[in-house]
């Protein structure tokens, strides 16, 4: 099969699957050329073939659109054909809960918050959709909310991946209550109590929470602040002991902010596939990239269905609605079963409201503004830390997201600093939260820079720097 024919068949498959519906615009020739890494002439030949078959149509000055065909599915008809199937200790949760509660203090500067500044979100527009859906569906039933989720939202999620050059089977997508539930369900689907789970070090504490909750053990793998998880170290661990699963955040990892290269992503997927080890990929920050191109995912290199990709709208659209999803590969039915058993369903009104927002309200325009703001504020925060903190302080260079990892002098205890800062109504993320090993990152802190730079934030950074001598611990 020629290259343009293969591309045309892939697009036709997405149309047949209902990811692209009649009347909708398909990705432009230039977008498809960039994402698929093929020439513009190849894309044009594919589009001309699709047009000759009556599958798409060209509209002057507008692009290419899907033509209506007999039997083509519409949003209301999109439903899963699969039936619902009929059944080393980690202890950081107490510290994290205490830290999150402290952020609720009145007038506290939220440098320790794990959430982006809500003022950057299109809350009024989203609320408009929520209220409109609620008026249309005053008697919504839990039956309407059953897994895998709202068909139109699932279609919109699949469509977003397609627009970024990744073909996703809508039947693999399960809507969840945020990415946290997606991670927990995926872990439950691939491992059991007592199993060992490989994680990055430092790692996002939601991963550690999931491991702790299920009575599993975490084994931490050294992780480079630019390159990501150490593949040689992981391979050695896998060769020496049984690893039930690996949990990673390859794009804009929290707290380090790196983006793994495509080569390293592919190598990680291949390494785990060789040993038949499932990989849970946390992709909550994927849309918050600072460069020109959307990052690839581990899922895009998965050929065995071993990657379980998790994401949500909590970091890009709203923290209030708590809508996430899992693309669960070969574990799809198990994840759906556990979703049903654990929480029964995800409320339908937020799902429908977000689907309508994605379809009508310029989500990409909103994301461009968000990325620009975060990139600018990352630079300002790094400059402020370099200016006010003592010589020898080191910071990461985030390529996306909105958190900065700061390494302080060895004698600084981040928990003591956290308490001192709290006395001044300032919150920070102490390094203790990002490891299952006691004192692993005790001289590190994480700072949130999503809030617009202001005099209070600048004063807070200066105050933290001034408190550092009080946070020094006696020599070991």
**Mind listing the pLDDT tens digit for each residue in 82-94?**
332 222 444 566 6
**Mind listing the pLDDT tens digit for each residue in 110-129?**
999 989 999 999 888 888 88
Return phi, psi of residue 457, to 5°: -70, -45
| pLDDT value at residue 73 | 43
Among 103-112, 120-129, 427-436, name the one with the lowest average pLDDT.
103-112
Q: In the predicted model, is pLDDT for residue 180 greater than 80?
A: yes
List C-alpha distances in Å: 351 to 61, 75, 175, 335: 33, 14, 8, 19
| Most trustworthy range by pLDDT among 99-113, 137-151, 318-332 | 318-332
| pLDDT value at residue 228 | 96
Q: In the predicted model, is pLDDT for residue 447 greater than 80?
A: yes
Give rounded-to-5 percent helix, strand, coil for the chain: 45, 15, 40
List domains and CATH numbers for the chain: 3-70 (1.10.10.10), 93-120+365-471 (3.90.1150.10), 123-360 (3.40.640.10)
**Residue pointed to by tokens 């802190």:** 445
Distance between CA 447 and CA 453 in Å, rounded? 13
| pLDDT value at residue 92 | 63
Read off the pLDDT band of 95 (50, 70, 90): low
Pairing of strands 429-430, 173-176: unpaired
Among 19-33, 60-74, 374-388, name the one with the lowest average pLDDT.
60-74
* Of 453, 411, 409, 407, nearest in space to 431 by CA: 407
Report how far Cα 368 is from the mean position of its chain's Cα atoms: 17
DSSP string, 352-389: HHHHHHHHHS-HHHHHHHHHHHHHHHHHHHHHHHHHHS
Tell me which of 238 and 81 has the higher pLDDT: 238
| pLDDT value at residue 18 | 81
Q: In the predicted model, is pLDDT for residue 263 greater than 80?
A: yes
Report how far Cα 281 is from the mean position of its chain's Cα atoms: 8
Q: Is 59 helix (H, G, I), strand (E, B) or coil?
A: strand
Distance between CA 365 and CA 265 in Å, rounded? 28
Read off the pLDDT band of 70 (50, 70, 90): low
| pLDDT value at residue 139 | 66
Q: Which two tokens stand for residue 296?
A: 């690839």
Pairing of strands 426-427, 109-110: parallel
Q: In the predicted model, is pLDDT for residue 184 greater than 70?
A: yes
List C-alpha distances in Å: 385 to 56, 202, 359, 390, 415: 53, 20, 40, 9, 19
| pLDDT value at residue 167 | 87
Q: Which two tokens stand for residue 38?
A: 């093929």
| pLDDT value at residue 475 | 57
Read off the pLDDT band of 235 (50, 70, 90): very high
The mean predicted confidence, pLDDT, of the chain is: 89
């Amino acid at each position: 099969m020629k290259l343009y024919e293969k591309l045309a068949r892939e697009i036709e498959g997405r149309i047949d699957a209902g990811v692209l519906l009649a009347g909708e615009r398909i990705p432009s020739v230039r977008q498809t050329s960039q994402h698929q890494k093929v020439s513009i002439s190849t894309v044009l030949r594919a589009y001309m073939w699709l047009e000759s078959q009556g599958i798409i149509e060209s509209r002057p000055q507008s692009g290419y659109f899907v033509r209506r065909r007999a039997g083509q599915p519409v949003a209301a008809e999109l439903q899963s054909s699969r039936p619902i199937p009929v059944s080393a200790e980690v202890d950081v949760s107490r510290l994290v809960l205490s830290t999150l509660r402290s952020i609720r203090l009145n007038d506290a500067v939220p440098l320790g918050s794990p959430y982006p500044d809500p003022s950057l979100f299109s809350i009024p527009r989203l609320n408009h959709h929520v209220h409109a859906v609620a008026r249309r569906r005053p008697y919504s039933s839990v039956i309407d909310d059953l897994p895998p989720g709202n068909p139109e939202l699932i279609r919109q999620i699949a469509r977003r991946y397609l627009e970024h050059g990744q073909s996703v089977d809508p039947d693999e997508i399960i809507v969840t209550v945020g990415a946290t539930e997606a991670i927990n369900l995926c872990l439950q689907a691939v491992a059991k109590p007592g199993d060992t789970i490989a994680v990055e070090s430092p790692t996002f504490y939601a991963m550690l929470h999931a491991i702790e909750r299920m009575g599993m053990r975490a084994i931490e793998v050294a992780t480079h602040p630019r390159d990501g998880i150490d593949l040689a170290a992981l391979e050695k661990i896998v060769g020496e002991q049984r690893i039930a699963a690996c949990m990673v955040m390859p794009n804009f990892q929290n707290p380090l902010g790196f983006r793994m290269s495509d080569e390293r992503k592919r190598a990680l997927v291949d390494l785990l596939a060789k040993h038949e080890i499932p990989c849970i990929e946390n992709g909550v920050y994927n849309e918050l990239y600072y460069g020109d191109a959307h990052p690839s995912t581990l899922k895009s290199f998965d050929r065995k269905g071993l990657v379980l990709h998790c994401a949500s709208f909590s970091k890009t659209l709203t923290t209030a609605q708590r809508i996430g999803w899992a693309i669960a590969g070969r574990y799809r039915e198990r994840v759906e079963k556990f979703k049903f058993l654990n929480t029964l369903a995800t409320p339908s009104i937020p799902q429908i409201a977000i689907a309508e927002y994605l379809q009508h309200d310029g989500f990409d325009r909103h994301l461009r503004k968000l990325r620009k703001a975060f990139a600018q504020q990352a630079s300002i925060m790094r400059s402020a830390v370099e200016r006010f903190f003592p010589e020898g302080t080191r910071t990461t260079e985030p390529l996306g997201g909105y958190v900065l990892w700061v390494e302080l002098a060895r004698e600084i205890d981040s928990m003591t600093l956290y308490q001192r800062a709290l006395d001044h109504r300032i919150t920070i993320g102490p390094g203790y939260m990002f490891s299952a090993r006691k004192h692993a990152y005790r001289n590190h802190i994480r700072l949130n820079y999503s809030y617009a730079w202001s005099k209070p934030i600048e004063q807070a950074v200066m105050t933290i720097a001034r408190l550092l001598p009080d946070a020094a611990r006696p020599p070991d």
